[in-house]
Amino acid sequence: MEIVLQAKNVRKVYGIKGNVYTALDNISLEITRGDFVGIMGPSGAGKSTLLNVFSTIDKPTSGEIQISGQELETMNEQQMSSFRRDQLGFIFQDYNLLDTLSVRENIILPLALAKRPVKEMETQLEKVADTFGIRDILDKYPNEISGGQKQRTAASRAIIANPSLIFADEPTGALDSKSATDLLESLKELNEQEHSTIMMVTHDAYAASFCKRILFIKDGAIYTEIYRGTKTRKEFFQKILDVLAKLGGDMNDVI
C-alpha cells in the first residue's frame, strides 16, 4: 500500500521554559492511500493541533513528517506554498469561501492559481459539482446559498486539484443533521470510488462512523485506534461510542 502520510515521533510544545504545554507527545502513525481516518478525543486532547501540524498550517517542535514521500521540514516557504496548493485539500468548519466570488469561481480557485488550462478547470468543475450535488448553484454567491451548500462548495474546492490528502476539521460542526449526512455520504463516496485519502477531526461519533479507521487522542498521545473492517456503519458507531465512554471513564479516574 502506498503511504501518503508518515509521522515519526512528532511533538508540539507551546510556551517557554517553566511554563510549557505539550500539545502533541511523540505521535507516530501512517496513513495509506484510500484511507479515511477519523481523529477523536476530548476537548484539549490535541486533535486540531495534530491536523494543523500534519497539514502544514503549523510546524512541529520535533519529529519527522512525510507526505507523498516529501519531508515537510526540508521545504522553504515558497516550496511549501506550492506543495500545499497542489497536494493538500482543506475543509474547515467555517467554509472559508470568498463572498465576492461565485460558487463556480470559489471551487476553481486552486486550479486558477496553479494556472491550469481552462478546459481542465471546466472538466474538473463538472466532476466535483456532480460528486457533491451542487451543479444547480454554481452561478450563485455564498450569501445566496445554505450552510450545507457552502460546505459542499468548500469540499468541492478542496478536492478539485486531486490532492494527495484531504484534511477536514469538524466539517459538520455548523450543519443541520440532513446537511451533515449529505456531506458525509459524499465524502464516503469520494473515498470509496476515487480512493481519496481523508483525515477528519470530529467530536461527533455519527460523523466518525463514516470513516474506515478512528484514532483516539488523549493528552497529546494516541490512546487507541479502531478499524471498521466488515462492521456495518451502525455497528461501528456503537464501537466508537464504547471507546469514547471508556476514554471518558479513564479521564474521570484520573480526576
Q: How far, in Å, CA of 236 to CA of 232, rounded?
A: 6
Reported confidence tier of residue 250, pLDDT bands at 50, 70, 90: low
Across the chain, what does the average pLDDT equal?
A: 92
- In a domain? residue 226: yes
Q: Do residues 28 and 8 make contact, with C-beta atoms less than 8 angstroms apart?
A: yes
- In a domain? residue 97: yes
For residue 76, the domain's CATH number is: 3.40.50.300
The residue behind cell 497542489 is 86
- In a domain? residue 195: yes
Q: Please give the average per-residue pLDDT across 188-204, as a whole number.
A: 94
The pLDDT of residue 251: 42
The pLDDT of residue 212: 97
The pLDDT of residue 252: 38
Q: Report the number of distinct structural domains present in the chain.
A: 1
Whole domain around residue 222: which residue ranges? 3-250
Residue 169 has pLDDT above 60, yes or no: yes
The residue behind cell 507527545 is 25
**Helix boundaries (H) for 39-102:** 47-54, 77-87
- In a domain? residue 148: yes
- In a domain? residue 227: yes
Residue 254 has pLDDT above 60, yes or no: no
Residue 12 has pLDDT above 90, yes or no: yes
- In a domain? residue 85: yes
Lowest mean pLDDT: which of 87-101, 191-205, 241-255? Answer: 241-255
The pLDDT of residue 225: 96
Residue 98 has pLDDT above 90, yes or no: yes
Residue 253 has pLDDT above 70, yes or no: no
Residue 255 has pLDDT above 80, yes or no: no
- In a domain? residue 255: no
- In a domain? residue 81: yes
